[in-house]
Chain A
């Protein structure tokens, strides 16, 4: 059993990223509640973090912080900087989406994507 799975192990990071993206998107497509939908969007976001950091990882290399040792080969700091800002911006954009949901709930009295009709003037 393990002998069969071992060659597939290096594919695990990409598989996890793809799975998070897929399962998040599936839940968004079938969602019946906007707050739930935004929660699933955070899963899709997490898949990008996993993908980027997995691509920047290097076996046995330390973190790119050279406070207590001289600069050597280390994990990629560029992708870490990307993900770092992405997390903070993603959080504020999530807040913006939640504000839109609250507004929708006040105006239309529903937060079910199936029951929201296009706006008319």
Chain B
């Protein structure tokens, strides 16, 4: 199909779907006035039943905890696939920077190094803070894990590839990703061992509004945080490896 024909078919489809969209949009409940029975129910009973104050976390780790298990393994599959695809053709490690011939390489400015060194630590700390406050205030394993991974990225910007690889080992990230997903699944099996349904909370729930309230949800949250931070760490590392060449040369960085 030629590009022009394809564009014409696409525009034709748009024109045909436009009345359907207009119909749906005009018969939808108005914006801001949707009936939300499921959400309202959880908002009403969540704090009393689960002793946590962040309802999004309560849904992620308890009410719909099984869905999160699926998402966890979806992420594991995507990260594993990426790693296999990238490592498959080039092996585990490469050491020489690939360069565009004729392009000047400027050293990193001192200000960049300073700011990245300062901010990387704080970003990881903030990620941990967000991760730990999953049950009370906005935050949780998903957000905290991604913020920790962006702290790793700042460390790369400040230290350069070589300095970064001194601290970022792929084994560490692999263990975090796999271990986090396993921890989440094991939480479910732990409930089953005690004769309860899969992922049923059997730990003491604690006082709502307390940092360590929520029982089993805390463990699941830690598992998700580990898996997300490790997964994004693996992705950063594998893609950065792609910009290297296999031959080892003298250190020049």
Contact = CB atoms under 8 A, between A and B. Distances in A.
Interface of A: 10-15, 18, 22, 25-26, 29-30, 54-59, 63-67, 71-81, 84-85, 87-89, 91-93, 95-96, 98-100, 102-103, 106, 114
Interface of B: 3, 6-7, 10, 14, 21, 24-26, 28, 30-34, 36, 38-40, 42-44, 46-48, 53-56, 58-60, 64, 67-68, 71, 74-75, 78-79, 81-82, 85-86, 89, 136-138, 140, 142-143, 145-146, 209, 228, 231-232, 235, 238-239, 242
A11 B23 CA distance: 11
Contacts of B55: 64-66, 74, 77
B78 A11 contact: no
Contact of A30 (B6, B59, B64, B136): B6
Nearest to A28: B10
12 contacts: A14-B21, A56-B36, A57-B32, A65-B138, A73-B43, A78-B36, A84-B56, A85-B60, A85-B67, A91-B232, A92-B235, A114-B3
B36 A85 contact: no
A96 B81 contact: yes
A117 to B, nearest CB: 14
B178 to A, nearest CB: 14
A59 B29 CA distance: 13
Given A92-B75, A95-B78, A65 B54 contact: yes
Determine chain A's interface SS by DSSP, over half rule: helix
A73 B40 contact: yes
Determine chain B's interface SS by DSSP, over half rule: helix
A5 to B, nearest CB: 15
A92 B79 contact: yes
Contact of A76 (B39, B137, B142): B39
A91 B71 CA distance: 12
Given A25-B10, A58-B34, A84-B142, 10 more contacts: A30-B10, A59-B33, A63-B138, A65-B138, A72-B43, A77-B43, A92-B232, A96-B81, A99-B82, A102-B242
Contacts of A114: 3
A26 B39 contact: no
Contacts of B146: 88, 91
A22 B14 contact: yes
B86 A80 contact: no
B16 to A, nearest CB: 12
A11 B7 contact: no
B39 A100 contact: no
A58 B36 contact: yes
B10 A78 contact: no
Contacts of B79: 92, 95-96
B221 to A, nearest CB: 13
B56 A99 contact: no
Given A78-B39, A95-B239, A18 B21 contact: yes
A96 B78 CA distance: 6
A53 to B, nearest CB: 11
B30 A10 contact: yes
Contacts of B138: 63, 65
Contact of B56 (A14, A80, A89): A80
A67 B44 CA distance: 14
A30 B7 contact: yes
